[in-house]
Homo-oligomer: A and B are copies of this chain.
Amino acid sequence: MEGAQAVREALRHARVHELFVTDAAADRHPDLVAAARDAGARVVPVTDRAAASLSDTVTPQGLVAVCDLLDVAVAAALGERPALVAVCAGIADPGNAGTVIRVADAAGADAVLLAGDTVDPHNGKAVRASTGSVFHLPLARDRDAAAVLDACRGAGLTLVAADARGELDLHEPAARPVLAAPVAWIFGGEAHGVQADLAARADHRVRVPIHGRAESLNLATAAAVCLYASAAARRWSGEA
């Protein structure tokens, strides 16, 4: 975890083993250094050059924490009675994955499952784009996307694929009860959306209606519209 914000969240929510810190960063963030010591982490002073070599940003902040990985098993992430879950199936861009995790957190999702060829949520860009949300809700990874969908169904979730050519319009009346029930939203890759075989496994394929002349929404904005449509439907139906 890199930078003051991520390190602060890590100290709050994760197990931190080591904190590498430059003198300047230690002066700027004495609270973080103290919190790391309190948490039992080894605090290691480093030079600017060493901090830069640990960093994957253009302007390193001089603070890098080594933490336990965040992800858990799929069953553990789903828990007993999940009501809203986001499945990322083939998201390649770490910024998009982090943004979807942030949106899922904001919309009240119980977990985010990273399935198939989806980027690692521990990627620095994904962590930054999530602005702390990687720590807020359970994350699980499994390359076997079909197994992830089976686990969701086993947990009582209706499988809904976000699909620009889906048979159900997000805002049509028939979509309302689907969205208000416990749902796993499946989001696919940036270029081609949800793979055909996974979309076929879903109970419904839902499209965000396009009212103007845009061809589509990008992945993160489509996920936001879909997840918040579920949050709204749950609330309106009195289930939330």
Contacts and interface: CB of A to CB of B under 8 A. Distances in A.
The 10 residue pairs across chains A and B that have the minimum distance between CB atoms: A108-B211, A221-B224, A106-B214, A105-B214, A136-B213, A105-B212, A171-B232, A225-B228, A224-B224, A106-B210
A6 to B, nearest CB: 13
Interface in A203-240: 208-218, 220-225, 228-229, 231-232, 235-236, 240
A223 B170 CA distance: 17
Of the listed residues A104, A105, A107, A221, the one surrounded by the most CB atoms of chain B closer than 10 A to its CB is A221
Copies of this chain, tallied across the complex: 2
A232 B108 CA distance: 21
A78 B105 CA distance: 36
A51 interface: no
Interface string A88-117: 000000000001001111111100000000
A131 interface: yes
A132 interface: yes
Contacts of A103: 214, 217, 221
Contact of A213 (B133, B216, B220, B223): B133
Given A103-B217, A221-B223, 12 more contacts: A99-B218, A105-B212, A107-B211, A132-B213, A132-B214, A133-B212, A171-B231, A171-B232, A217-B224, A220-B221, A222-B224, A225-B228
13 contacts: A104-B212, A105-B213, A106-B216, A106-B217, A131-B216, A132-B215, A136-B212, A136-B213, A137-B213, A211-B240, A220-B220, A220-B221, A221-B221
